[in-house]
Amino acid sequence: PHGLQHPVSLVVSMLVIDGLKVTISIGVAIHPGVGVDSADMLKQADIALYASKKGGRNRVTYVGA
């Protein structure tokens, strides 16, 4: 799943709206298959999202739930 970083970087480097450069931060929670409910998955994705923002934006961060 970590192959998503490169395409995001390419898209973001070209994304300008009304003269403003747009950044994208994505958090991805990877479901282990059993024993994790939707609230836990959302919490993990939120943690990953804020790690992306803290890391400089225009990033994809993955966490296992």
The string of pLDDT tens digits covering residues 3-49 is 555 666 666 666 788 988 888 888 888 888 778 888 999 999 999 99
The whole-angstrom separation of Cα 3 and Cα 43 is 23
pLDDT at 1: 52
pLDDT at 20: 86
Give the range of the structural domain holding residue 51, as residue numbers without chain letter.
Answer: 2-64
Residue type, 64: G
The larger pLDDT score, comparing residue 53 to residue 32, is at: 53
Average pLDDT over residues 42-64: 88
Region label for 47, one of left (φ > 0), alpha (ψ between -120 and 50) or beta (otherwise): alpha
The whole-angstrom separation of Cα 38 and Cα 20 is 35
pLDDT at 22: 80
How many structural domains does the chain have?
1
